[in-house]
Amino acid sequence: MSKPPHNPSSGRRNPGDEALERAVAALQMNRPGEAERLAASVLRANRSNHIAAKVLGWALLAQNRAGEAVAPVERAARRSNDPEIETVLAVALAATGRQQEALDQLRQTTARRPVFPPAFREYAGQLAKLGRFGEAIEVVESGTALAPEAIDLQIDLARLRLNQNDRSEARKILSQALSAAPGRPDILAALARVMLLDGDYAAAADIFRHLLALRPDDAMTRADLAACQLEMGARDDGESTLRAATRGRPDMLGRAIHLLGATSHGRFFFRPSAAVKFLGN
DSSP notation for 37-92: HHHHHHHHH-TT-HHHHHHHHHHHHHTT-HHHHHHHHHHHHHH---HHHHHHHHHH
Q: What is the reported pLDDT for 194?
A: 96
Minimal CA–CA distance to 227: which of 266, 253, 270?
A: 266
Q: What one-character DSSP code corresponds to residue 13? A: -
- Rounded CA-CA distance 133/125 in Å is 9
Nearest to 22 by CA among 2, 41, 50: 41
Rounded to whole angstroms, how far apart are CA atoms 231 and 223?
12
Predicted confidence at residue 111, as pLDDT, reads: 96
Contact partners, residue 163, CB within 8 Å, separation at least 6: 128, 133
Domains and CATH numbers, the chain: 1-98 (1.25.40), 113-182 (1.25.40.10), 184-281 (1.25.40.10)
Per-residue pLDDT band for 8 (boundaries 50, 70, 90) equals very low
Residue 276: its pLDDT value, please?
82
pLDDT at 107 over 70: yes
143-176 residue pLDDT tens: 999 999 999 999 999 999 999 999 999 999 999 9
Instruction: Please give the backbone phi and psi of residue 167, each rounded to the nearest 5 degrees, phi first.
Output: -70, -35
What is the predicted pLDDT for the residue at 16? Answer: 61
Instruction: Say what the pLDDT of residue 277 is.
Output: 83
Is the pLDDT assigned to residue 272 strictly greater than 90? no
Report pLDDT digits (tens) over 24-35: 999 999 999 999
Confidence of residue 274 (pLDDT cuts 50, 70, 90): confident
What percent of the chain has a predicted confidence (pLDDT) above 70?
A: 94
